[in-house]
Structure 1
């Protein structure tokens, strides 16, 4: 069917065809990768909305598809998008003041000023413009750049018509909601790319000062630094994680593959997902979730293959310890030859104040950094400084990887896209296809730190941080310690695809944010470098529970999409299975039924014992005892080494079942129970209250119960709720299950797909799609994907909108 005939079909579907026009502000053309327009004038797209405000965007090429995507995202999320564009322009201090803390969507900056100094420096140095000029595949393709141009035009066209009708109180009437350029789009993509590298050290980059006097001693030993790096990297994105599993056809009812994707991302801010279908007739047809501000589908499916991502354990940065010229601390030595650092002086406008000017210092390795997280200072002295290498600072290829996925017809096509563009900065990929193939790969952009290089070139600090945390600190004074290149890598200094941990066509492949080692517990992956992650080390409770579940599913066989849905919302708490019975028995044996709390007072905890015993070991709405156990376990494990908790230690030969056997004599266990009982009673929360009564979100004044549980409980359906006992318990969700998809195939050309966007399409409380899918999530219901034309046409809520520029 031609594009024109397809549009004719839409027009005669029996529903009104709305035409929306808007002139394009002049600012839209500036900074675009390509300023030309298609023949015939302005860009246009057709958007068909089905249930829950899900848009199905149809356009004739990539620029027009980007236009429709930008329009539709702006309609749902203009305030969140505008806030992100203020960030990448380095203008937060100008509009919101320098001292306020930005959300952590695009970097780890703790103040607006720090964020602005970094992003304005990126802008003024021309970093993104240079990356846009790099020929594909090392740089972005023409299609990717056209999509950026189109998105900016679509966003601007929506804004031109609707600026004075914005109903979201977050930005209604705000002067910082302005037109954007294609360069803003590319800068947003750059920010996401460096999120795990330069973005994680923004404060340390923007606070650099050459030493004028000797800095005070830090008191941090290499061992303490290693522990700090391990903590920092293990929580590199504390609000991001994921589960995903793909099943091979031998385990399914019809021999076709199955995929369940369950990313755990923030429920607010710029790393929310947004759901859509994108179609260029004859070119691509794909549905799924996109990170806001992205032109492509991040996690999704087409007619033949489905994929998801999980945040990987690879460390996408390293440090180089510089030896400085004794006469000038802004000169460093490489093989005895001096090299002068480059100054990047940045001036940031400040609301109600004078502009602030700071200088950053850059080297052949990257920026000088004086801290990596608050707990790991990296002092710049008269003899030593540290530079941060982030290979993703030259990676603007993620959109091309996603486009390759969107057009793939098998897991082999997914793999080819990973190899061709090598654009994923900090995630693994899990996929399944119609033919029954399963696939896992940790194909991310990582600095080419081999174990041999680390052994030969690590400084004393690196000798501590690399084995424990995977953070290499190399001797920057030796050219022989350069990272080198792999022949199959698209850019120097990174690993090529041949070095990536990959597993094909196992009965199942699964990841829950541990390393690639146990992607399939029956065939562990080994032989990769430490920078990718660990081998034969203790797994998280969530990984252990996930492997138990999916291995049992694979062994049982005859799997269908419904089995994936049940796994997602089963809400089993593996930690409860491991310890609750023992804790209840120990509780019942406490002398006098009392325990001593942190304040030294004896607390009657006897009423907690039967509640723990009867708890069903799940975190459903009606689970009684789940809240009690959750609060107790958080207190019992806070800062406690695993060796003090378990009777049976970790055994690499039995990694799913160890460690186990709670040691009820462990220090602090009694205190944790006393403090929990005291806390719940003070909040007037019954010890056996149903979880849903005290774990909820409030939307437009109404409570919506939320099932699921925290990381420490090991729940697949992960939820990180915000504790506010004065308001009733857990009263909001900061992060957790987000865009969920369960995908399979039957004998038709239409995929069998069920989806959930837990926090709904819009963050505007005045939108009809502010909480509709949140209520579905609460009720354990799903959205049936309308992927094929016949299903879209049958939607009872079908609304067709034609959007275009007015030239």
Structure 2
């Protein structure tokens, strides 16, 4: 190495393109990390940077239904660039050096490439050098939720004002999904001493994240000898390891059911809808005019709007929560001042025991919107929802409970959409500042759910209640999610797999999980909804094999036969999965958790794993099956078509059959299909087929789901880990690492993770020494 250089770093890539980055200081570590990441994902890194700066529409146009315009205006109104600069200046020296080095490595790759990236953004004017402040702005924007609710922010205008920016109903509705981070999920299993074959800790990491864009995972191994040795992955363009392990602890994340954003109902002045009542006095809403440039076929066009703020946060517009002459709604984000997530992840990665790992959470309280599920070499299994939510007084919580019990609308918004609506006119509902909490107004560590088990803990995006099913937990703030309420069918399936219920026994006769048994359980691809309902559906189908739709008869007997022969799995060769999916997804997702449309037996909080159950006693089941049959036949699709002939990843002209199922189907190995995907790499069709929820003319297009999948077991020789990165390591279509792991995922083949220096040396594919 060059002793006089500011940055010295070694990058050794092993098979499948995984970089092992070794440096003597944090600046050099970031330098090599960003350089290697840019080799694989320069386009997505640049995309994330211009998104965080509010420049998407300037370079890429208005986007689907104007989403780029909405995003840019909201980002600018929230002043993300200023917040990023301030956040960087407040970082400890090691983090600041890390980010400065990261910017340096990224910029070096741009200089050396001169625009020839051998990818889909070659010579694009928006791929340009970046400052440390730019990257910090990206990280600050990433942890917030309000930034994802752009349509709702831009749409909020006083009732008599003419909106200058058009926001479609679907873009406003998308804000509801954004509050829940609906496009991202995960399964996570951590095993303790009484559930593993060797009595040490084991882990399954199974985050469900997008297959396209900057929110993909990128795998890496980061080492500073004597200081840091951590392996795992993080979102593209993000320094550090977010999901991974070291010699002592391993962890993964799932999107939490906590309510990081709460809404405040504002009571407006009768003759002025821009003033709101607060403790008996009228306050004026603050307004901020923001402008962005939009690239069009004719040239640049200027778009301007006004964004409004109460002292709680921006005024928003959501379905049923309109700005009228008497009321409006403002949103407050608990992560608005969260700037310590890098310090949090670094402290986790340096932990030498579970006790230190928990202390790292306590010190920073900086997990933005994810649960942490972890295990350790000594076999401690811990679930922690360390996400930031507002610290409400007991009086405020009691008043809120009274309101939702008195209002079915408010209760429904909480239980179905995760919306907590507080009274914006009262100081009582403000968040309490605790001196021991780093982020103002958020709950102290002791008031955040922490569950430990000698057996296992898990999460599949429901609240903490059943994260240890053997000992259900209640009693935390309602902002950490509802308890003693119906769970998703995926949560229920996770418990079936872990507890060995109804024949789903993967832990063998000894009841102890080996790594191979954990892998088999995840990839079994059985659907719980089919397990619960299919036999009854088939029986009714046989009893009434002809159904009329608009006076046209539909013969159901062939469908009955196909479903009866199907084994309820969503493998690529499964015949019957497509037919059942088209039947099931004609119901609302809500109905997969509640009695009425789909289920007959009520939810029982004493038996939450097995209820609701039974097919609802109505004619809809057969009518819906007839509609599914008609859709497939009318579009020339055989009723018994194997799932893999329709469910595919279409990437850069290549198509890969993909196993797995969606959230309706109650399958652990989640793969969500959408009829619209916006990405230069996507080579399928966005043309929707009939009235299907997710089927396009190119099939079920994989949009997000199982991504960085990892199993970990601590042994007497250290951590033993295996993984699959479903969409592969590189985003460049011509790279040898663009689809190699997609083939592994297709074939359910796990690869070894190389953590020890000797294993890295034996499996080296390439080596680079970078100095500057």
TM-score in terms of structure 1 length: 0.85
Counterpart among 86, 93, 97 of residue 57 in structure 2: 93
* Equivalent residues in 2 for 1:140-289, closer than 5 Å: 140-169=91-120, 171-195=121-145, 198-210=146-158, 212=160, 232=176, 236-289=180-233
Distance, in Å, in 2 between the alignment partners of 1:241 and 1:405 is 21
| 1:114 is aligned to 2:83 | no
Residue 75 in structure 1 maps to residue 39 in structure 2:
yes
Change (3 A) 1:588 1:92: same
Moved more, 681-690 or 325-334: 325-334
Partner of 2:84: 128
CA distance in 2, matches of 1:264, 1:572: 17
Q: CA deviation at 1:350?
A: 2.8
1:327, distance to aligned residue in structure 2 (A): 6.7
Q: Kindly indicate whether the alpha-carbon contact (under 8 Å) linking 1:239 and 1:734 is maintained by their aligned counterparts in 2.
A: no
Is the contact between residue 74 and residue 155 of structure 1 (CA under 8 Å) also seen in structure 2? Answer: yes
SS for the counterpart of 1:249 is coil
| Deviation by residue 1:752-796 (Cα, 9 ceiling, x = unmatched) | 10111100112221111111000000001012000110100110x
Residues 142 and 461 of structure 1: CA distance in aligned 2, closer, same or farther (over 3 Å): farther
| Residues 1:339 and 1:727: Cα distance change in structure 2 (over 3 Å) | closer
User: How far apart in 1 are the matches of 2:292 and 2:134?
Assistant: 18
Alpha-carbon separation, structure 1, partners of 2:127 and 2:152: 29
Q: Name the SS of the counterpart of 1:610 in structure 2.
A: helix
Q: CA deviation at 1:480?
A: 3.5
In the other structure, the counterpart of 1:540 is 488
1:698 is matched with 650
Instruction: Tell me which residue corresponds to 2:736.
Output: 768
1:349 aligns with 2:293: yes
Q: Which moved more, 1:283-292 or 1:402-411?
A: 402-411
> Aligned ranges for residues 3-42 of structure 1 at < 5 Å?
40-42=4-6
- The answer on 1:411 being equivalent to 2:359 is no
Tell me if structure 1 keeps the 8 A contact 2:240–2:342: yes
Q: Is the contact between residue 84 and residue 138 of structure 2 (CA under 8 Å) also seen in structure 1?
A: no
Q: Secondary structure at the match of 2:585?
A: helix
Residue 619 of structure 1 deviates from its aligned partner by 1.1
Q: Which residue of 476, 481, 500 maps to 2:448?
A: 500
Which string of whole-angstrom CA distances, capped at 9 and with x for unpartnered residues, describes residues 543-565 of structure 1? 11110111236794332211111
Equivalent positions of 1:608-757 (< 5 A) are 608-637=559-588, 642-663=595-616, 665-722=617-674, 730-749=699-718, 751-757=719-725
CA deviation profile, 1:10-45 (whole Å, cap 9, x unmatched): xxxxxxxxxxxxxxxxxxxxxxxxxxxxx9443232
Q: Name the residue aligned to 1:47.
A: 11
Give the Cα separation in 1 of the matches to 2:590 and 2:189: 31
Report matched runs for 1:430-509 at 5 Å.
430-450=373-393, 452-456=395-399, 464=407, 467-468=411-412, 469=414, 471-509=419-457
Q: C-alpha distance in 2, partners of 1:125/1:786?
A: 38
Q: CA deviation at 1:424?
A: 1.0
Q: Are 1:799 and 2:771 counterparts?
A: no
Residue 206 of structure 1, CA deviation: 2.8
TM-score scaled by structure 2? 0.89
> Are 1:461 and 1:473, in contact at CA under 8 Å, matched by a contact in 2?
no
**C-alpha contact (below 8 Å) 1:65/1:278 kept by paired residues:** yes
Shift of 1:344: 2.7
Inter-CA distance 771–462: structure 2 relative to 1 (3 Å threshold): farther
User: How far apart are 1:175 and its partner, in Å?
Assistant: 0.8
Following superposition, the deviation at residue 270 of structure 1 comes to 1.5
Q: CA deviation at 1:444?
A: 0.4
Query: How large is the RMSD of aligned CA atoms in angstroms?
Result: 2.7
1:64 matched residue in structure 2: 28
Indicate which of 716, 722, 726 corresponds to 1:758.
726
Deviations 1:376-405 (A, max 9, x none): 333053x54432211211001111111111
| SS of 1:443 mapped into structure 2 | coil
Which structure 2 residues correspond to residues 568-647 of structure 1 after superposition, within 5 A? 568-590=522-544, 593-597=545-549, 599-637=550-588, 642-647=595-600
Helix, strand or coil: the match of 2:650?
Answer: strand
2:683 is aligned to none
Query: What per-residue deviation string (whole Å, max 9, x for no partner) do you get for residues 262-309 of structure 1?
Result: 111111111100011111111111111111121011111112211011
TM-superposed deviation, 1:200: 4.0
Q: Whole-Å Cα distance in 1 between the matches of residues 174 and 618 of structure 2?
A: 24
Larger deviation, residues 701-710 vs 427-436:
701-710
Count of residues in Structure 1 that have an aligned counterpart in Structure 2: 731
Task: Say if 2:80 and 2:137, in contact at 8 Å, map to a contact too.
Answer: no
Aligned-pair CA distance for 1:455: 3.3
Q: Which residue of 2 aligns with 1:551?
A: 499
Structure-2 residue corresponding to 1:23: none
Q: Which runs of 5+ in 1 are unaligned?
A: 8-38, 103-109, 135-139, 216-227
SS of 1:620's partner is coil
Unaligned runs of 5+ in 2: 164-171, 501-505, 676-687, 690-694
Q: Alpha-carbon deviations, 1:337-383, whole Å to 9, x = none?
A: 454444433221232234333332333222222x03xx2333053x5
Deviation for aligned residue 1:509: 0.4
Cα separation, 1, equivalents of 2:220 and 2:323: 47
Cα pair 2:179 2:261 within 8 Å, conserved? no
With 636-645 and 544-553 compared, the bigger mean Cα shift is at: 636-645
Offset of residue 600 of structure 1: 4.1
Higher deviation after alignment, 86-95 or 524-533? 86-95
Q: 1 CA distance for matches of 2:696 and 2:82?
A: 48
Residues 1:418 and 1:376: Cα distance change in structure 2 (over 3 Å): farther
Task: Return the alpha-carbon distance in structure 1 between the equivalents of residues 596 and 185 of structure 2.
Answer: 25
How far the C-alpha of 1:515 sits from its partner, in A, is 0.8
Aligned counterparts of 1:781 and 1:604: Cα–Cα separation in 2: 41
- Does the CA-based 8 Å contact 1:722-1:730 persist in structure 2? no
- CA gap 1:213/1:561 in 2 versus in 1, 3 angstroms: closer
**Would the alpha carbon gap of residues 181 and 384 (structure 1) be closer, same or farther in structure 2, given more than 3 Å must change?**
same
**Which 10-residue stretch deviates more, 769-778 or 349-358?**
349-358
Indicate conservation of the 8 Å contact 2:88/2:133, yes or no. no
Answer yes or no: is the 8 Å Cα contact 2:234–2:241 preserved in 1.
yes
**How far off is 1:521 after superposition?**
1.2
Provide the rounded CA distance (Å) in 2 between the counterparts of 1:802 and 1:761.
Answer: 21
Greater displacement, 270-279 / 702-711: 702-711
Counterpart CA distance in 1 for 2:137 and 2:474 is 37
Contact 1:721–1:730 under 8 Å retained in 2: no
1:234, 1:800 → 2: CA distance?
41
After superposition, the Cα gap between the structure-2 partners of 1:346 and 1:452, relative to the gap in structure 1 and judged at 3 Å, is same
Give a deviation string over 1:495-551, Cα, whole Å, max 9, x none.
Answer: 111111111134110111111100111100111121111111111111111101112
Structure 1 residue aligned with 2:516 = 562
Distance 1:632 1:799, change over 3 A: same
Cα pair 2:384 2:449 within 8 Å, conserved: yes
